[in-house]
Amino acid sequence: MLPNNQHHFIVIDDSKLDCFIAEKIIKNTGKCASIKTFVQAKDALEFIATQEPLSPLPVIILVDIQMPVMNGFQFVEAFEQLPYAVISKYIIYVISSSINDEDMNKIHIYPTVKQFLNKPLTSNTLSTLLSKE
Amino acid sequence: MEKIKILYIDDEQNNLNGFKASFRFDYFVFVAATTSQARAFLEEHSDIRIILCDQRMPDQTGVRFFEEIREKHPNPIRMLITGYTDIEAVIDGINRGHIFRYIKKPWTDTDIKSAIEEGNKFYLTNSLLSVKNDELRSAYDELGKFAYSVSHDMRGPLLGVIAAIEIINKSENINEVKEIAGMMDVAVKQLDAFIINLHEYYSLKRGSLVYEPIDFKTIVGDLAALFKVAGSMENIHFTVNVSQTGDFYSDLISIKIILNNLLSNAFKYQRKGSDNKYVEINIDVTNTVATIFVKDNGIGIHEEYINNIFTMFYRATSEETGSGFGLYNVKDALNKLQGTIEVSSTINEGTIFKVTIPGKTHAAK
């Protein structure tokens, strides 16, 4: 059994550097049970749809908004089409470097998105949000 | 200069004949004896600039006619021809703002001519204004897209580098530091490519075309040298065929932007691990047209995305770090040169771009 303050993470960002940074920061919190990174949202979606997540739940997803082919919002829309039994095991945080009113408003229409986070991801913001889980 | 088109409406045939006789040398004159005939002319000739209509038409008044056509044909300048007794109608028409001028009956050639000249000036000013308005609107739209994308595409790599520096500062592991430095390198180069494309975008939007003789062999040679230095030609077989007969005049900056973007894409979007990578450029130039084929056997473009590749900030793949700007600039440059571009592509087999650019025969043109 893992200690109960541990979490599994999925990071989706088309920038390899940003994936790497997220991985580092998440690992440094000491609350990371596992982490998987994806540079393509489609691959992440497939992973989520086919793999049974390990406890403890929920798994935390950090997804970038602006990505080619499937952007963050398209990912969330596709994710919300999955069976409730799957959706309920995840919590989504949307991350981006651009703070655009339209994006900010859009976030509220997706029930599975918990919060918007600014880039760069810092250990402070991450620790704060993990302490609430 | 082409004659401007005038429509004159009057139910008296004599007046119509007289009008046509007086003005057919100066203007392209349409005459109509009924308002329904006038409508037919307006439908057929959307470039009629000035309409003169007699107030007392049998089926309806001139004021009423103008009121009715205004919505469907807002551009032509409307002028009412009327006798003294119709002064109420004139006041009515002018106050409702849909008549540019009224002309007293009986009219003289000078009255009509000066009214038409004034009306034409007004027409030109208005159309110029509406063209400028459209330009302004599209510039605004672009600015909006820009502000959004710039904050992502320029801030994104920077924020990544800032965060990476923080990690490096805490790291004791030299291998890790080197690994991060490699990723920072990619991020910074991506930012640089974006800025170069941004600059190209502005030189295309704001610059005017300068026609000079284009030597394709030299341009492609220079570009090939650049790609070699950048190392992007590693293990990629590059074939250049240039056949140029005669002088070809075009805008050098635009041509460079087109070739550079197409070639750099061909080198960039290769299949990793493939052992027979190639890029081929074939240019055939006569003094009237340059036909360019850029061919690669790289990753190809998905059918679903191929129609969007020329859209600003659109990226069809996450394989490589595109700026979403390159092909937009290519298309923009070709629009300015009145050239064309076609693309055919198969996933995992490669892509062929075909570009044609019409040449100018003289630098002065």
Q: Is B253 in CB contact (< 8 Å) with chain A?
A: no
Q: What pLDDT is stored for residue A133 in this prediction?
A: 67
CA atoms B329, B159, B229, B353: torsion sign: negative
In a domain, B148, yes or no: no
In a domain, B146, yes or no: no
8 Å CB contact between B211 and B365 = yes
In the numeric block, which tokens belong to residue B134? Answer: 């459209």
In a domain, B102, yes or no: yes
Please give the DSSP secondary-structure letter assigned to residue B86.
G
pLDDT averaged over consecutive 10-residue blocks of chain B (365 residues)? 90 92 94 94 94 91 90 92 78 80 88 93 91 88 77 81 89 90 86 84 81 91 79 79 90 91 90 88 92 94 88 74 82 92 94 93 53
Please give the DSSP secondary-structure letter assigned to residue B4.
P
**Final residue before a domain boundary, out of B112, B129, B146:** B129
The total number of structural domains that make up chain B: 3
Q: Is B151 in CB contact (< 8 Å) with chain A?
A: yes
B259 CB burial (10 A radius; 0-12, 13-18, 19+): buried
SS3 call for B316? coil
Distance CA A120, CA B163 (A): 6
Q: Is B178 in CB contact (< 8 Å) with chain A?
A: no
Name the more confident of A89 and B144: A89
Distance CA A39, CA B179 (A): 17
8 Å CB contact between B33 and B13 = yes
In the numeric block, which tokens belong to residue B209? Answer: 């075309």
Q: Which residues of B touch A24 (CB under 8 A)?
A: 167
∠ CA B221-B300-B325, nearest 5°, is 65
Q: Is B180 in CB contact (< 8 Å) with chain A?
A: yes
In the numeric block, which tokens belong to residue B153? Answer: 């595409």
Same domain, B21 and B113: yes
Same domain, B361 and B214: yes
In a domain, B218, yes or no: yes
CATH of the domain at B267: 3.30.565.10
Q: What is the pLDDT of residues A26-37, one digit of tens each?
A: 988 888 999 999
Q: What pLDDT is stored for residue B97 in this prediction?
A: 65
CATH of the domain at A74: 3.40.50.2300
Report the percentage of chain A scoring pLDDT > 90.
46
B73 CB burial (10 A radius; 0-12, 13-18, 19+): middle
Query: Is residue A119 very low, low, confident or very high in pLDDT (cuts 50, 70, 90)?
Result: confident
Same domain, B289 and B339: yes
Could you say which residues from 318 to 347 on chain B have a Cβ atom under 8 Å away from some Cβ of chain A?
318, 321-322, 324
Same domain, B108 and B160: no
Q: What pLDDT is stored for residue B231 in this prediction?
A: 61
In a domain, B11, yes or no: yes
Q: What pLDDT is stored for residue B232 in this prediction?
A: 64
Residue bearing tokens 């309409």? B51
Q: What pLDDT is stored for residue B125 in this prediction?
A: 92
Short-list B310, B309, B280, CA closest to B297: B280
∠ CA B218-B221-B225, nearest 5°, is 140
8 Å CB contact between A26 and A11 = yes
In a domain, A48, yes or no: yes
CA distances from B106 to A21, B11, B81, B102 (A): 86, 14, 9, 12
In a domain, A79, yes or no: yes
SS3 call for B52? strand
Site from B146, B149, B152, B312 to mutate, A interface, most A CB atoms within 10 angstroms: B152
Q: Is A15 in CB contact (< 8 Å) with chain B?
A: yes
The CB density around residue B75, as the number of other CB atoms within 10 Å, is: 13
Q: What pLDDT is stored for residue B310 in this prediction?
A: 87
B98's CB contacts (< 8 A; 6+ apart) are: B66, B67, B70, B78
In a domain, A2, yes or no: no
Q: What is the ipTM of this complex?
A: 0.77
Q: A22: domain range? A: 7-132
Query: Is residue A19 very low, low, confident or very high in pLDDT (cuts 50, 70, 90)?
Result: very high
Q: Is A123 in CB contact (< 8 Å) with chain B?
A: no
> Which residue on chain B is closest to A100 by alpha carbon?
B148
Strand B237-244's sheet: what is its strand order?
B237-244, B278-285, B289-296, B350-358, B340-346
Please give the DSSP secondary-structure letter assigned to residue B307.
G
B161's CB contacts (< 8 A; 6+ apart) are: A17, B184, B187, B188
Please give the DSSP secondary-structure letter assigned to residue A21.
H
Could you say which residues from 30 to 89 on chain A have a Cβ atom under 8 Å away from some Cβ of chain B?
39-40, 66-69
Same domain, B125 and B160: no
Q: What pLDDT is stored for residue A125 in this prediction?
A: 86
In a domain, B363, yes or no: yes
CA distances from A96 to A65, B199, B243, B251 (A): 6, 25, 49, 40
CA distances from B116 to A85, B122, B223 (A): 76, 10, 57
Per-residue HEC secondary structure of B111-131 comes to: HHHHHHHHHHHHHHHHHHHHH
Short-list B252, B265, B277, B356, CA closest to B310: B265
CA distances from B278 to A4, B291, B337 (A): 54, 20, 29
Q: What pLDDT is stored for residue A1 in this prediction?
A: 47
Of B156, B314, B322, the CB nearest to A97: B156
In a domain, B147, yes or no: no
